[in-house]
Structure 1
């Protein structure tokens, strides 16, 4: 059909710290830490930045379809026909042109299944915060 969304069975979750450590070691280097103060690369945890999340959702929706391969599934996703999507994208673009972040968020909430606008708006034009810019 085209436009299908496939989901891969990725196996068990991997801790980012373990992945980073393994990548350093596979590069032929050593991690610098309390046990190895002469190591090549120090790993540091900086925490989440705005918009980041701890867990990634691999599937939105229920009951994925199976495929010929046991570790590949096909998602059942809702979609809009192009004329309707174009209409809504134009409305989103118009809201952004007006710097109307409230309307833009409302349109996104209609368009994107599972979208949540619980975070603060960090658009400087919307918040009215002035910044010093070099001329």
Structure 2
């Protein structure tokens, strides 16, 4: 059960308690016996306490969910910044691969280019980096 499902369930619980309280208040207004009114008031008090507890739990769950979302957003932004930094430092791999392979002595028949084996291309890449 996800946190969103639990939050929805808690909201439903609070609404049900509010409905019961409203029903008891109507019943209280029509009651004429003091003993019956006392029982109804006790029941209302008990339900109001349950409602406060449920609202507190609901708030706690919503805060937890917000914290999770904030953490996900923070991680995503951090990753985007890191990707942006890397893209400014090094050109994209495919673009770099093509540039290096055409400098290779075997040109387009270069085995490293055809298999995209970067370890075999390492000498070409290093020489390319040193020439810049």
Query: TM-score category by the smaller chain?
Result: under 0.3
In our comparison, the structure showing a higher alpha carbon Rg is: 2
Structure with greater strand share of residues: 1
For normalisation by structure 1, the TM-score amounts to: 0.21
For normalisation by structure 2, the TM-score amounts to: 0.22
